[in-house]
Amino acid sequence: MLIGLSAIAFLAGCSIDLRFGGGSKMTSAATTANNTANNNTANTNQHPVVQQSVAPTVGQQLLDLKKALDAGAISEQEYETEKVRILDQK
């Protein structure tokens, strides 16, 4: 009996999209509507959000290069050439 109730509670939770923890509880359609509404307001206290891109570190570039080699996307010669170029940037 307890297992049956647990299964029902689990399935009910899946169908109503329970979310645990912090963060937004809006669905994507609701988020889009909310963002549109917020962008159309004439509130002068709001400042635009500026996103800055961060250049990948040398370590991250080397990891990405190794993944490309392992996946067969680049040859061993291309790997070595790019590795030297990345290490010379320091």
83/27: higher pLDDT:
83
Q: How many whole angstroms separate alpha carbon 65 and alpha carbon 84?
A: 11
Residue 48: its pLDDT value, please? 81
* Per-domain boundaries in the chain: 58-88
78 has pLDDT over 90: yes
Residue 75: its pLDDT value, please? 97
55/81: higher pLDDT:
81
What pTM was estimated for this model as a whole? 0.43
Q: How many whole angstroms separate alpha carbon 31 and alpha carbon 46?
A: 18
| Interval 18-70: pLDDT, tens | 454 555 554 555 555 555 555 555 555 677 888 888 889 999 999 999 999 99
Secondary structure letter of residue 16 according to DSSP:
T
Residue 16: its pLDDT value, please? 46
Residue 81: its pLDDT value, please? 97
